[in-house]
Structures are given as C-alpha cells and as structure tokens.
Structure 1
Amino acid sequence: MPQMGNMCGYAVTVEVEPSNARHQSAKPDAQKEYMRYLAAVPGPKIVIVKDLDKPFIGSFWGEVNANMHKAMGCVGTITDGCVRDTDEMTNAGIKALARHTCVGHAYSTPVRWGIELEVFGCKVRHGDLIHADKHGFMAIDEEDQKNLLAAVRFMDENECNNLLCFSRNAAGLPLDEFVEEYARRGTQFKKDAERFFESLNQ
C-alpha cells in the first residue's frame, strides 16, 4: 500500500498456513500465545509473515487482525502471502508490503512465531530493524544498528553537499563543464564517505 508511505520498526515474526485446518485443533491457544508474544516486544513493530501455502489461498490479514495488531503497537506488515480488506487496513493505520491480495482468510491461526523467516528472498530475525517503502524493504540486524542513524545522516548530507545541490543548480552550465565538475564532486563524495566510515571503526 504505497499511498501510506514508509514504515520503520522492529521485526516480530510469524508463520501461517491458511489451507491447514489442523492447526486450530492442534494449538487451540495459539492466538492468545501469539498475542502474548507481541505484547512482550516494545514497539514500533512490523509483523513479518511467512505464508507456508503455495499457491496462496487465504490471508492472515484483514480488518480484524489489522486493528488488533495496531492496538498492540504494530505499524505494518511484510508478508510473502496475501492481504485483504486493504481499505480497512489503511483505516486502521496498518501499512503492508505483500505479494498478493485475496478474498478470504481461511484458517489464519498462527503456527510458529519469534523465529527466523525468509520472505521475498530476505532472511529476517526477531528484533531486526526493518525499513520498508514502495520499493521494498531492508532488514538490519542488531550488530549493524549502532551507528546507523549517524551513517544515514552523513550520507544524506554527503549526497546533498557534493552531488544534488550542484545538479539542481546546473541550468545553463555547458555540458562539458558539468561533466568535469560532476566527476570531481563524485570523487570527493567517495573520499568523504571513506573518511567517515573509517572514523567509525577507530
């Protein structure tokens, strides 16, 4: 749902298998236990859902689950399966990155949670920092989170100072001069980045 913008939060993970009715009888308390798992994790949270069905036949997500998860501090979901009730999910404030939409939820009982999953070819662990937008998502493990904010701020300033401001104000500059100056600034951009990241390792 790209109209809702970016989302950022910490991963909580769950597997579902909507085609399999046996999970409800085998784990009658699964929903409550899963909710207790959610409650024990500080937010903001992004729910990473692995759908075990291939092909997909049902959705873990809909109006009810969206509102329940929102009440428990979740801001969105990334699922390699389906979503439904997309208008209602939007109204609840739950953002979604999903492979498909579908018409029903089938048996949406949580199967396993708090485990490492792979969705869209990316491995995600409980507690990973997630950033997602209309282009896709990134999962950042704990050891890489320490200097992340400083690095993001630096690279944004580095791009603006060395490249973007020049390009945006280059109207009327002869193209051969633009090429030479842009190359010089590109070299400076790389040097500044190398210097910054070397300083983090000292």
Structure 2
Amino acid sequence: MTQTTIPEDLLNLLRSVDTPTVCNAIEVAQGKRGFNRFTRGTMQHCKPGDPAIVGFARTAKISGLAPPNEPAEIIRERRLDYFRSMAAGSGPTAAVVEDVDYPNCVAGWWGEVHVAVHKGLGLKGAVTNGVMRDLDVMDDGFPVLSGSVGPSHGFVHVVEIGTPVNILGMRVAQDELVHADRHGALVIPAEVVSDLKEAIEGVIAREAIVLEPAREPGFNISKLEEVWAKFEAVRT
C-alpha cells in the first residue's frame, strides 16, 4: 500500500498522547462512533509510561512452538530477509509481528538482542501478540507491547515477511500507521491523517470542560450538571 506522510507537528503530538485519546480522535475525524481497528484484551508493556509507539508497520509472522520443517539454510536466509525488510521503508517505522502459535505462544522473539538490533536499524518500537523477555536488560527507547511475558525462545523462526498480520484482533498491513502504548494498539486510517491533529486537540479541549471543574475544590453535583450539559453538546 502507499505510505502516508506524517507532518512533524502531528508526529510529535501523536508521541505525546495516549492511544485512547487517538482512538477517540479518529472517531471525531470520521464524524461517528464505531472505529474498531484496535487490539482486544490486556497486553503487556515492557516499560509502562514510555512515549507512545508511532510508526509505519513493518510486518512479519513468526512461530516457535515446534521446530521448522524447512532446511536450516532457508530459515537462516529468511531471518536475514526479515531484518532487511525491517530496515526498509520510510520512517518512522515500527515492527508489527504476529506469532502464529497464538494463544499458545512460547517464543520470546522480543528480548535483549532483538530489541537492540531493531532499535539500531531505526525502528521505534514493536507490537506483537507473542512473547517478550529480558525485561530488565532491554534497551531504553524501544517500547515493546506484547501478548505475554515468558522465559524461552522456543524454536522461533520467521515464517512470513511483509504480509498482513493479526495482533489480538487488529489487522495490519505493511506500511499502515500504528499507534500503541500500555493500553493497546490501533491502526490510524490514512484518510484521517490530515484532520487528526485538529481532532486530537479537540478531544483534549472538550474533555477539559469536565476535567478542570472536577479537579477544583468545591466541585459538586450541581456543577457537574452544568458542565456535563456543555460537554454533551460538543462530544462525538
């Protein structure tokens, strides 16, 4: 697919806000509720509180529950092809890797070595339904959002490169724009990018109608009724 260009001011804004805010803003930009291109269930984050992962997806599929049934030289070459693919594409990029063994994943693809390698190749983070490990020794500055945490690498090997993936119900194609943090991940539709900065700023401003009074001394039900009416009049 054709990759969308992200203006620098939007990119900085996306990195500073959480994924629920972006989810709300997409609905504002679309003018309706019902956006559903996000992960389901609770995921694990290697360093909760890190800035959001924002990047164009570099996709792949792995497996590790059983040994590969192809010759070792093919498996080795495919892994190098995987790294070549991960290193390609216009930035910012993020790895989006499906473990096809889900929900029985055992292969900790995301650990100290692969985090360092992917970070060194210029990617901004990783999203997977699979396993991460080495939490205490992962490099800073490369968030990983995973389906689970575990100790082993199993028989891990790459099975597909650059094909569409499914991460806990979120379908992602190569080069689609992804936003992820400790809440989960979502795909930002290309058609909303031009309106997204305004939509995010609008979400924040509208929530402030309630949040600012609620955090002031003397807030009560009467004040809530007053501000909630204003909030309802402008929310999506």
Range of TM-score over shorter length: 0.7 to 0.9
Report the structure, 1 or 2, having the larger helix content.
Answer: 1
Pick 1 or 2: higher relative contact order, CA cutoff 8 A, min separation 6.
Answer: 2
Unpaired runs of 5+ in structure 2? 1-45
Report Cα offsets for 1:63-93 as digits up to 9, x if no partner: 111111001111211111111111222x253
Do the aligned residues in 1 keep the contact of 2:210 with 2:224 (CA within 8 Å)? no
Residue 141, structure 1, aligned to residue 186, structure 2: no
The residue that corresponds to 1:67 in the other structure is 116
Query: Quick one: distance in 1 between partners of 2:60 and 2:79?
Result: 11
Aligned length: 187
Q: Partner of 2:107 in structure 1?
A: 58
Indicate the structure with greater strand content. 1
Cα separation, partners in 2 of 1:92 and 1:111, compared to 1, 3 Å: farther
Q: Judging changes above 3 Å, is the alpha-carbon distance between structure 1 residues 65 and 186 closer, same or farther for their aligned structure 2 residues?
A: same
Structure 1 residues 22-67: Cα deviation after superposition (integer angstroms, max 9, x where no partner): 3544343112212221222122222111111242222212211111
2:196 corresponds to 1:151: no
Gaps of 5+ in 1: 194-202
Match of 1:17 in 2: 63
Letter in 1 for 2:167: V
Q: TM-score, length-normalised on structure 2?
A: 0.71
Percent of aligned positions that are identical: 27
**What is the identity, as a one-letter code, of the residue corresponding to 1:62?**
G
Could you tell me how far 1:179 is from its partner in structure 2?
A: 3.6
Structure 2 matches for 1:24-173, cutoff 5 A? 24-54=72-102, 55-89=104-138, 91-160=139-208, 162-169=209-216, 171-173=217-219
In structure 1, the residue matched to 2:225 is 180
CA distance in 2, matches of 1:98, 1:173: 40
CA distance in 2, matches of 1:108, 1:151: 41
CA RMSD of aligned residues (A): 2.1
